[in-house]
Structure 1
Amino acid sequence: MAQHSPMTDTSTAAVSLRGIGKQFGDLTAVKDLDIDIQPGEFFSMLGPSGSGKTTVLRMIAGFEEPTSGQILLHGADVTRAAPFDREVNTVFQDYALFPHLSISENVAYGLTVRGIDRAQKRRLVDAALEQVRLGHVAGRRPSQLSGGQRQRIALARALILRPKVLLLDEPLGALDKQLREQMQIELKQIQREVGITFIFVTHDQEEALTLSDRVAVFNGGKIEQVGSPREVYEFPQTAFVAGFLGVTNLISPEASQQLLDDGRLHSLRPERVHLAELAAGVEPGTVAVAGTVAETVYAGAHTRYLVDTEMGLRIISEKQNTHTPRTEPSVRRGDRVSLRFQRDHATAVPDEAKVPVG
């Protein structure tokens, strides 16, 4: 059974979803979903393609109507309300900037539609551009900006209307890795400055962990787990969450019976597994298992070792590359090694039928 967010007083939550479901013909995209998102929270919906996260975002925005259930914004029922009748705004992956308008005109667009007078509009636009540190590009066109700059302009255009909730549909997806990581930090800083509730959709696990106050992990139209980044990474409540959030070693009940004497499913993160010589002593509380290095994967900051154990289990170990740059790593493919980890570093994954709701 999936773990939903705890029920709270819907009048205090920024967004409350109650029993939300969505059907597209015979396809069930979202199943009986309950979420409470608090004011000022950076809340991420994380999951693979087709897991239902974008459909949920579109229902909150009003672009899709739920088949069942209720959507409340700050206690008000907006389930059947049109998008323009909701105090929310959306930033899309393609930014949707008007190519024929200047940057300041793009940012001012929502104010123009609302009939805000020219002097006030100018003040608000200048403030919004300074907030995203792009006041110097006000007179340019979108085609003259980089991808990261266009992303910030789309954000400024959405924030200038001061929505109570800002919805972000994979807004960093089109950026390269270095720029994406830079924008993650900037996005979190901007959210803290403005204090608006952000609901962020992504399939990028690292991005969700970096940005979020809480993460909801989606799978098959349902939420598998909701919690802080640390909670969902360190204490996965289902095998899916353990496997989807980063890299992990899932130790089957049969294998854990041999290694840990408890016969339960466990998640063991590679960074907690260390390599040692076969003859090295084993400290109390440490589990040791012999194996052969099947593959080494160099990834710059760390090296990953895939080790086939004598008990037929493949275990991944990850080591930070702290050695001198010109020094070759000492462990190679085919080497016999001993894998070591602390017994309490293997986190038991609860029986999914027994995971509590509420």
Structure 2
Amino acid sequence: MSAPAAPTESAPTESAPTAPAPASSATDAPARGQGGVELNAVTKRFGDTVAVDDLTLAVESGEFFSMLGPSGSGKTTVLRLIAGFEEVTSGTIEIAGTDVTRAAPFDRTVNTVFQDYALFPHMTIADNVAYGLRVRKVSKAEQKERVTAALEQVRLSLVADRLPHQLSGGQRQRIALARALILQPRVLLLDEPLGALDKQLREQMQIELKQIQREVGITFIFVTHDQEEALTLSDRIAVFNNGKVEQVGTPREVYEYPQTAFVAGFLGISNLIDAGHAERLTGVAKAISVRPERVRLMDARTEPAAHETCVDGTIVETVYTGPTTRYIVDTVDGLRVIAERHNDHAPSDTAPYHRGDAVRAVWVTEHAAVVP
């Protein structure tokens, strides 16, 4: 959704870097297990536009929690509400058991990492990381000790004297992370922090980010529109759509057992089969979702096993992705089914099926998830 007054999903521009707000006036690190976040009936309106609609959500202390959804679904607005950058229209927000609904950003025990690294270009890496400590008037000796520890934590202790432009994108992102963590927040908010990185570096950073979160033990709330990223990083995922949460669960739960058609279609590729077709195939008039990797192809004359469901059709397209080959099949009764086959054969072998082949698409009946 969008409105003239509403903030966009994009991060601040690099031309005007700003330091993150101090997480709190306390200098002692929070104990592990004290960073839960609760939103109770939270609504946020921008004029006539409802960006967040009566949202109740609980993030457990110490978990890596992702908010996943398309642009305009409300996930970044929720992050900004937790940070205090936006005020709720109604409802309450609690952090570590304390009501912070009307608290200023600098009075909340959180810190934020943006997609834009927001590093000061004229400061060394060490000075960038130490900035928040200087604002709090922490002694120089303690600053030095904590900066060294923070840089070691993100595995960049050798670049302390460099300037931001001398680092790669991935290194700058880790410095932004170190600068946020050095303030020892109870909750770290991350607004699509890996969005500017190329695919290979992004995948590398995903693993490093998860490892860092486990080491520091604090709550991470991560905003992304990348389904694979959310599945890779998260302990739990909230799938957003039109200002509401459609489903919350572990990566396995939301992928294997989608509770709505939106979740099934947004989180990876899914074969959504309406109740009418499902009844003809299985005898049960309930819509189902079957993931492409659960579907295999075989000769149209081969009989499926008793525990399998099948539909006949013709391959209308093949897509080679490297690790897999995707087959798009139009069935005789008007369905389109996607099957995905892992390319575990020798590279010189030809594909077993081609465009125009008559095939039977088969899946184990119990592998289909009912979509409420």
Q: Structure 1 length normalisation: TM-score? A: 0.94
Distance across 1 between alignment mates of 2:131 and 2:71: 32
Does residue 332 of the first structure (1) align with residue 349 of the second (2)? no
> 1:8-27 alignment to 2 at 5 Å?
14-27=36-49
Distance across 2 between alignment mates of 1:230 and 1:42: 15
Question: In structure 1, what is the equivalent of residue 128 of structure 2?
Answer: 106
Question: In structure 2, what is the equivalent of residue 283 of structure 1?
Answer: 305
Does residue 164 of the first structure (1) align with residue 186 of the second (2)? yes
Question: In structure 2, what is the equivalent of residue 265 of structure 1?
Answer: 287
Out of 100, 122, 137, the residue aligned to residue 144 of structure 2 is 122
Distance across 2 between alignment mates of 1:108 and 1:210: 31
Stretches of structure 1 that go unaligned for 5 or more consecutive residues are: 1-10, 351-358
Out of 128, 131, 136, the residue aligned to residue 153 of structure 2 is 131
Indicate the SS of the match to 2:318: strand
> 1:36-115 alignment to 2 at 5 Å?
36-115=58-137
Out of 192, 211, 218, the residue aligned to residue 196 of structure 1 is 218
CA contact (8 A) 1:12 1:38 kept: no
Indicate the SS of the match to 2:223: strand
Instruction: Determine which structure has greater relative contact order: mean sequence separation of CA pairs < 8 Å that are 6+ residues apart, divided by chain length.
Output: 1
CA contact (8 A) 2:35 2:219 kept: no
CA displacement at 1:279 relative to structure 2: 2.1
Indicate the SS of the match to 2:309: strand
Does residue 206 of the first structure (1) align with residue 206 of the second (2)? no
Distance across 2 between alignment mates of 1:294 and 1:118: 68
Does residue 303 of the first structure (1) align with residue 325 of the second (2)? yes
CA contact (8 A) 2:111 2:185 kept: yes
Q: What one-letter code is carried by the residue in structure 2 that aligns with 1:99?
A: P
CA displacement at 1:278 relative to structure 2: 1.5
Distance across 2 between alignment mates of 1:258 and 1:12: 52
CA displacement at 1:12 relative to structure 2: 7.0
Distance across 1 between alignment mates of 2:164 and 2:282: 58
Q: What one-letter code is carried by the residue in structure 2 that aligns with 1:298?
A: Y
Does residue 347 of the first structure (1) align with residue 364 of the second (2)? no
Question: In structure 2, what is the equivalent of residue 176 of structure 1?
Answer: 198
Distance across 2 between alignment mates of 1:12 and 1:131: 21
Query: How many residues of Structure 1 are paired with residues of Structure 2 in the alignment?
Result: 340
Distance across 2 between alignment mates of 1:222 and 1:280: 45
The CA deviation string for residues 256-305 of structure 1, in whole angstroms up to 9 with x for no partner, is 01111101110100000000012223212011221100000010100100
Stretches of structure 2 that go unaligned for 5 or more consecutive residues are: 1-32
CA displacement at 1:21 relative to structure 2: 0.4
> 1:130-149 alignment to 2 at 5 Å?
130-149=152-171
CA contact (8 A) 1:13 1:36 kept: no
Indicate the SS of the match to 2:137: coil
Out of 317, 320, 342, the residue aligned to residue 342 of structure 2 is 320
Indicate the SS of the match to 2:209: helix
CA contact (8 A) 2:34 2:186 kept: no
CA displacement at 1:13 relative to structure 2: 6.5
Q: Structure 2 length normalisation: TM-score? A: 0.90
RMSD of Structure 2 on Structure 1 (CA): 1.0
CA contact (8 A) 1:62 1:81 kept: yes
Distance across 2 between alignment mates of 1:111 and 1:329: 60
Q: What one-letter code is carried by the residue in structure 1 that aligns with 2:103?
A: A
Distance across 2 between alignment mates of 1:291 and 1:48: 32
Question: In structure 2, what is the equivalent of residue 150 of structure 1?
Answer: 172
Distance across 2 between alignment mates of 1:303 and 1:109: 50
Out of 257, 282, 292, the residue aligned to residue 314 of structure 2 is 292
CA displacement at 1:330 relative to structure 2: 2.0
Q: What one-letter code is carried by the residue in structure 1 that aligns with 2:39?
A: L
CA contact (8 A) 2:35 2:186 kept: no
